[in-house]
Amino acid sequence: KILILDFGSQYTQLIARRVRELGVYCELHPWDMSDDDIRAFAPKGVILSGGPESVTEANSPRAPQAVWDLQVPVLGICYGMQTMAVQLGGAVAPGTVKEFGYAEIRARGHSQLLRDIEDRVNDEGHGLLDVWMSHGDHVSGLPDGFKLIASTKDVPIAGIADESRRYYALQFHPEVTHTTQGARIYSRFVHEICGCGDAWKPGNIINDAIATVREQVGEAKALLGLSGGVDSSVVAALLHKAIGEQLTCVFVDHGLLRHHEGDQVMKIFAEHLGVKVIRVDAEARFLDALKGVDDPEAKRKIIGRLFVEVFDEEAGKLEGIDFLAQGTIYPDVIESAGSKTKKAHVIKSHHNVGGLPEHMKLKLVEPLRELFKDEVRRIGVELGLPREMVYRHPFPGPGLGVRILGEVSKAAADTLRQADHIFIEELRRAGWYDKTSQAFAVFLPVRSVGVTGDGRRYEPVIALRAVQTIDFMTAQWAHLPYELLDVCSRRIVNEVPGVSRVVYDVSGKPPATIEWE
């Protein structure tokens, strides 16, 4: 396994995902991980990530001494390269300008890391690679024992290596897809230089997880709040495989789910997979509690509180439960851990999963704690969940409650469900569903005038929104083809009673958020 020390770069999680895609297990820890913890982790290699700080500043982060004492290969990326350089006796110069974007690097001499990895070869026989740069400082003097292995026009020292100690460092970011040979560079490091195998694959991940869960849970019973979202669905399928009848799922249907969503969840889990699922039809309770409330945050609070309440009531009826299963995934774990220097993270308040019922004294079982979202999806497919479910766009916990602007009503929810279903169906048909990160319809409580036949209509408006994003922190509106929007608009107005007009949202985030409320 590989240890990645995080110096705070926005690309650190990407490094971990790249390494795992290569079939190698790795963990991401803050740069100030203790020497004891590093020794206990016993990595076969260490990767030092990039970071926003400058090694030329006093008190800037350094790699712990244990990294150098372990005598395993080390790869420094960007800031990781700079801290490696200064810690081992080289020099770093502050950048006057920040370099950001594509660069062409030239692989110099032979290095085990970059040998024969190239996009092109120049006249002198040097390999050339297209890479992604993002840095201010650069290494200006080689530490003892190091040689130059890469350079660019602007950065004479863009890669260094000490082959005898197996220390390598790169100024560019091989984890970013713009660096076309990035996967080969990481493979060279983890497979050949560190000697890791490639056993971290969906089948093995599942077998490992099953063994761990069986050991943890034994003969005891576990409870899971199933929401129909990717994470809880995969936990359900996995736990069912591991402990079968000892698992009970509670699925709270708050009446603000998408078209036929509740039935589909039951069909897949209860009928198809044979999982024990208790469906709680709480639509009336939720709608009742939401009556007269139009403030978005107030609606969120009500839905969240009631969700936990209903879940707890149901859980309380069950006997002999010892474990509460949760769909916590690795990014949640990383975010809540953090390092001393890490800037405050904005953590979304999730309530898809019920709160831990205190009086039940449940222990947690979290079989996805070590997995990234893409790994969760892959094992979901391997476990037999339908692709459409596993690769579905994210859906907020409060559901249609925040997509019906203002006061929520059953009539509005029914209208919105139909319109949303048509939009999604057409997106899929046109091959655009997988090209967008999130797409949905919004119910606007304003009425607009329309005509159909000889009738005048004065009815609510449906807005369509589709965005493309990597991290949901920023997003672009999707440039859907006019023909596709046209089909959606016609179908919605013709097939959904009580809608006279359809509009498309062309706002990016920022300034707009993805949801309308």
The catalytic residue positions are 78, 173, 175
Site membership for ligand XMP, residue 119 (CB under 6 A)? no
Site membership for ligand XMP, residue 295 (CB under 6 A)? no
Which stretch in 62-70, 256-264, 321-329, 392-400 sits in contact with ligand XMP by CB under 6 A? 392-400
Which DSSP state fits 470? S
**Do the annotations mark residue 228 as ligand-binding?**
yes
If the CB atoms of residues 51 and 398 are measured against ligand XMP, the closer one turns out to be 398
**Do the annotations mark residue 136 as ligand-binding?**
no
Spatial CA neighbour of 12 closest among 413, 270, 331: 331
**At a CB cut-off of 8 Å and minimum separation 6, what does 251 contact?**
225, 226, 227, 228, 262, 265, 266, 269, 277, 278, 279, 280
For the record, the structure tokens of 197 come out as: 């195998």
Site membership for ligand XMP, residue 207 (CB under 6 A)? no
If the CB atoms of residues 127 and 397 are measured against ligand XMP, the closer one turns out to be 397
Q: How many CB atoms lie within 10 A of CB 490?
A: 12
For the record, the structure tokens of 333 come out as: 């774990």
Q: Which of residues 426-455 bind ligand XMP (CB under 6 A)?
A: 438
Torsions phi, psi of 414, nearest 5?
-65, -45
- Residue 137 is which amino acid? D
Report yes or no: 446 and 461 within 8 Å, Cβ to Cβ. Answer: yes
Q: Are strands 120-121 and 127-135 parallel, antiparallel or unpaired?
A: antiparallel
Which stretch in 64-72, 203-211, 345-353, 489-497 sits in contact with ligand XMP by CB under 6 A? 345-353
CA 37 from centroid of its chain's CA atoms: 26
Site membership for ligand XMP, residue 491 (CB under 6 A)? no
| Least distance between ligand XMP and beta carbon 18 (Å) | 24
Burial 391-430 (b: 16+ CB within 10 A, else e): ebbebbbbbbbbbbbbebeeebbebbbbbbbbbbebbeee
* Contact letters for ligand XMP, residues 496-515 (x by CB under 6 A): -------------x---xxx
Of 396, 408, 419, 502, the one binding ligand XMP by CB under 6 A: 396
Of 51, 73, 357, 398, the one binding ligand XMP by CB under 6 A: 398
Of 52, 203, 394, 481, the one binding ligand XMP by CB under 6 A: 394
Q: Residue 128 burial (CB < 10 Å; 0-12/13-18/19+)?
A: middle
| Least distance between ligand XMP and beta carbon 303 (Å) | 8
If the CB atoms of residues 228 and 396 are measured against ligand XMP, the closer one turns out to be 396
Site membership for ligand XMP, residue 397 (CB under 6 A)? yes
Site membership for ligand XMP, residue 83 (CB under 6 A)? no
Contact residues for ligand XMP, defined by CB under 6 A: 300, 348, 350, 352, 394, 396-398, 438, 472, 509, 513-515
